[in-house]
Chains A and B, each alone.
Chain A
């Protein structure tokens, strides 16, 4: 029995730990600031961090293959600016949204191809993607472009009331993140593609020798991350109803931090998207605690996230060392 418990803990430590940390931070926050106990504050985490969650999901799969995607913030900026500019010029929202997805996917696939076939380090190739996307956003418009499209406005501002909680609501774009999370869980656990991702992350050489489609999977993973970033960009433009090249600066770092805090190893092969959810929620909780405090400045978010990332890595290495021994 004892052995089973310890095995369970070691096996699921990557998810249980961020979950516990999230609960702890949230409870401490609730104790310090009673207003944080309202259910709306909890749902606000999803509303505020919906695009971060989307980006982090794509990032998790990329990191699971042992790669990294630094372009996500740039893709968000590009998508918001491009869609705002197109809507301003009278394009239909139903054309703009799919087009943005196409942009994200093709950019991701291109980076994946450069990484896989030109044998470029993921870090450098996606950095190029970041530069390119952000630069293109500025070329489209140097200033912020407001979105006045009716369809966008209705989608963005229609609240959905949560049953059983009075006066608690979320918005339609907020749902995209959790839905994508379910999709990602399905992909990573129940499809051949998902299992190949884990195999590549554990050992690319042996994955190749086993006859798994390494090349296709790696390119597809980056395309998936591009897809997630494009979705995040649409959600972002919906939440701010504007497009600007400076949006989402540094979001790639927040996403990586969320993934790492969520128990995914940056070496690849270990971790999952559920942990990432808690990583994102922890990030959101830190931000809202700072907001409730009011006197602490925003830079504490950065320091807090940095410290948590460090702790997560320390705990991870301790866990994995034990896992290897047992």
Chain B
């Protein structure tokens, strides 16, 4: 009895459906390529022994998307949306690259100085500056939404358009390559054989969980998302709750930018985090959080991001060119839309009730 209720609770939780989707994709992978799940241990000259394989890669490369999806969940739960995360990623990446740039402040800029394995600013300060830049972007979005009362979509659209410009402004319009090896650790390093980025995601997830479930912030966010006005009348400061959600989203975007620029060893204002906002929204929707706000689950969104990344890897595995991936993703979105639509729900309900009625009649 107890086990049954546990299973039912699990089935009703938001984690269930994204997990099912993930398992379906994994089973598909297993069928088309039995070696898909092979995980080995490799000896790396810089990072020592670590695991390698498709699954590890999915988590390592999908980490920025998972982070962004976690941040986006809170924003969507308040009934908003943040389109600027891609731009925030670019800004954070640009910030890191500029602060590292050893030629900064040097009067004589030569190729030798530029490509030196050195940094202009200590690493902790770079990380702090990255996080601060992202959080500031979030603060800007949050102020526009909560104080100026602009629709979330438009308010964040402004930073989405202008943000990439700002990122290019920071790097002076160039694609900056990073040569400072300690910085690569975030995207390429390993702890106990697992990628560092996984630990970072887990850390943010735990941080978010503690913030949201161990304090009353989560409850406040849900109540603001369900009905901002009644939340206000019950004494919840809905403005600050919204502000917090956008700032957290910007914070997550900044970490994602850090990992991403560290992984690709460069900062490119135009292409860092391109289309991430769309993938993140898709991940959150897949995680069962309604676009209108309300009930949310951080873990479910993170799993949703993993599903999207697994899907991406699978499509690459099938030999589809990278650019045509967009069409495949559109079909994924369509399937998700269809699954979550009232149309399907009604259809399924009709079938199940018919069966129940039929059963009833036969038993009679």
Stretch at the interface among B56-64, B154-162, B216-224: B154-162
Q: Which residues of B contact A117 (CB under 8 A)?
A: 343
Q: Does A121 contact B (CB under 8 A)?
A: yes
**B:264-291 near A, CB below 8 Å:** 269, 278, 281, 285, 291
Q: Does A267 contact B (CB under 8 A)?
A: yes
Report the bound CA distance from A305 to B158 in whole Å.
Answer: 8
A110-144 interface bits toward B, Cβ cutoff 8 Å, 1 = contact, 0 = none: 00001001111101110111111011101100100
Q: Which residues of B contact A128 (CB under 8 A)?
A: 330, 333-334, 337
Q: Does A309 contact B (CB under 8 A)?
A: yes
Q: Does A5 contact B (CB under 8 A)?
A: no
Report the bound CA distance from A313 to B151 in whole Å.
Answer: 10
Q: Which residues of B contact A245 (CB under 8 A)?
A: 323
Q: Which residues of B contact A33 (CB under 8 A)?
A: none
Q: Does A59 contact B (CB under 8 A)?
A: no
- Decide: A131 and B327 in contact? CB cutoff 8 A: yes
**A:53-96 near B, CB below 8 Å:** 68
Interface of B is mostly: helix
Cross-chain contact of B157 among A121, A142, A253 (Cβ < 8 A): A253
Report the bound CA distance from A301 to B328 in whole Å.
Answer: 32
> How many Å from the CB of B211 to the closest CB on chain A?
28
- Decide: A303 and B166 in contact? CB cutoff 8 A: yes
Q: Does B39 contact A (CB under 8 A)?
A: no
- Given known contacts A118-B338, A118-B343, A139-B324, A306 and B330 CB-to-CB distance under 8 angstroms: no
| Nearest opposing residue in chain A for B154, CB measure | A266
> How many Å from the CB of A104 to the closest CB on chain B?
16
**B:143-192 near A, CB below 8 Å:** 144, 148-151, 153-154, 157-162, 164-166, 168-169, 173
Q: Does B358 contact A (CB under 8 A)?
A: no
- Given known contacts A124-B285, A299-B168, A300-B165, A118 and B324 CB-to-CB distance under 8 angstroms: no
Report the bound CA distance from A128 to B336 in whole Å.
Answer: 11
| Nearest opposing residue in chain A for B81, CB measure | A123
Q: Does A294 contact B (CB under 8 A)?
A: no
- Decide: A305 and B326 in contact? CB cutoff 8 A: no
> How many Å from the CB of B74 to the closest CB on chain A?
18
| Nearest opposing residue in chain B for A246, CB measure | B323
| Nearest opposing residue in chain B for A305, CB measure | B161
> How many Å from the CB of B219 to the closest CB on chain A?
25
Q: How large is the interface on A (under 10, 10 to 19, 20 to 34, 35 or more residues)?
A: 35 or more
| Nearest opposing residue in chain B for A250, CB measure | B161
B319-332 interface bits toward A, Cβ cutoff 8 Å, 1 = contact, 0 = none: 00101111111110
Report the bound CA distance from A306 to B169 in whole Å.
Answer: 14
> How many Å from the CB of B212 to the closest CB on chain A?
24
Cross-chain contact of A313 among B154, B278, B325 (Cβ < 8 A): B154
Q: Does B342 contact A (CB under 8 A)?
A: yes
B38-52 interface bits toward A, Cβ cutoff 8 Å, 1 = contact, 0 = none: 000000000000000
Q: Which residues of A contact B269 (CB under 8 A)?
A: 299
Determine which residue in B157, B161, B285, B324 has the highest number of CB atoms from chain A within 10 A of its CB, and name it.
B161
Q: Which residues of B contact A123 (CB under 8 A)?
A: 81, 153, 291
> How many Å from the CB of A63 to the closest CB on chain B?
11
Q: Does A31 contact B (CB under 8 A)?
A: no
Determine which residue in B154, B269, B343 has the highest number of CB atoms from chain A within 10 A of its CB, and name it.
B154
Q: Which residues of B contact A127 (CB under 8 A)?
A: 278, 281, 333
Cross-chain contact of A124 among B144, B321, B333 (Cβ < 8 A): B333
A281-312 interface bits toward B, Cβ cutoff 8 Å, 1 = contact, 0 = none: 00000000000000001011111011101100
Q: Does B215 contact A (CB under 8 A)?
A: no
Determine which residue in B81, B160, B334 has the highest number of CB atoms from chain A within 10 A of its CB, and name it.
B334
Report the bound CA distance from A317 to B151 in whole Å.
Answer: 11
- Decide: A124 and B291 in contact? CB cutoff 8 A: yes
Q: Does B341 contact A (CB under 8 A)?
A: yes
Determine which residue in A117, A120, A256, A301 has the highest number of CB atoms from chain B within 10 A of its CB, and name it.
A120
**B:314-364 near A, CB below 8 Å:** 321, 323-331, 333-334, 337-338, 341-343
Q: Lowest 8 CB-CB distances: which A-B pairs, in order? A: A135-B327, A306-B162, A135-B326, A132-B330, A302-B165, A131-B330, A138-B323, A299-B165
Chosen A-B contacts, 19 in total, with CB atoms closer than 8 Å, are A118-B337, A118-B341, A124-B285, A125-B337, A129-B330, A131-B330, A132-B331, A135-B326, A138-B321, A256-B157, A297-B168, A303-B165, A303-B169, A305-B162, A307-B162, A309-B157, A309-B161, A313-B150, A313-B154
A residues contacting B by CB (< 8 A) are 68, 114, 117-121, 123-125, 127-132, 134-136, 138-139, 142, 245, 250, 253, 256-257, 260, 266-267, 297, 299-303, 305-307, 309-310, 313-314, 317
